[in-house]
Amino acid sequence: MPPRKTVAQNRKATHEYFIEEHVEAGLQLMGSEVKSLRAGKASINEAYAGEHRGEIWLTNAHIAEYAPANRFGHDPKRPRKLLVNKRERDRLLGQVRREGYTLVPLSIYFNERGLAKLDLGLAKGKKKADKREATKQRDWQRQKARVMRERG
């Protein structure tokens, strides 16, 4: 089984949020968007997922225009519908409404079958002190690894 091909990642997400659950969602895309994704021209750094008319939509994700598809192209920042199971969609939207969770896009990738998927995280926001603590822990782990490497 070939490894999945990651197209875009949101590296800030783990710094800004506690990721409590990962959900794999499909993306409803146009043909020119798929070709652009295969070329690796996408960014989800400022993207977020939210509810619109009872569905989950990915907003503000940038998928660059595919030049050969000139008049059949797409708007790079258009909202894209996320495809998830109905029961899972209702559960996720319920947690977002009731418990203050956020749906954060973590990465876009192609699965083994060649379909574009979005790794969506159910997350709670970190406070400033939590971010500082995480930075301290990361620095301590690096320092510890450096010392162990030097000692042999």
Is 80 among the domain residues? yes
What is the predicted pLDDT for the residue at 36? Answer: 92
User: Does any domain span residue 143?
Assistant: no
Residue 147 lies in a domain: no
Residue 13: inside a domain? yes
What is the residue range of 89's domain? 5-126
From residue 152, how far is each of 31, 140, 149 by CA, in Å? Answer: 53, 18, 5
Residue 89 maps to a domain: yes
Q: Does residue 98 sit within a domain? A: yes
What's the CATH number where 70 sits?
Answer: 2.40.280.10
What digits encode the pLDDT tens for the residues 15-71?
A: 899 999 999 999 999 988 999 999 999 999 999 999 999 999 999 999 999 888 877
How many domains would you assign to the chain? Answer: 1
What is the structure's pLDDT at 137?
Answer: 94
Banded model confidence at residue 2, pLDDT cuts 50, 70, 90:
low
pLDDT value, residue 7 = 93
The structure's pTM equals 0.83
Q: Please check whether residue 64 lies inside any domain of the structure.
A: yes
Is there a domain that residue 144 lies in? Answer: no
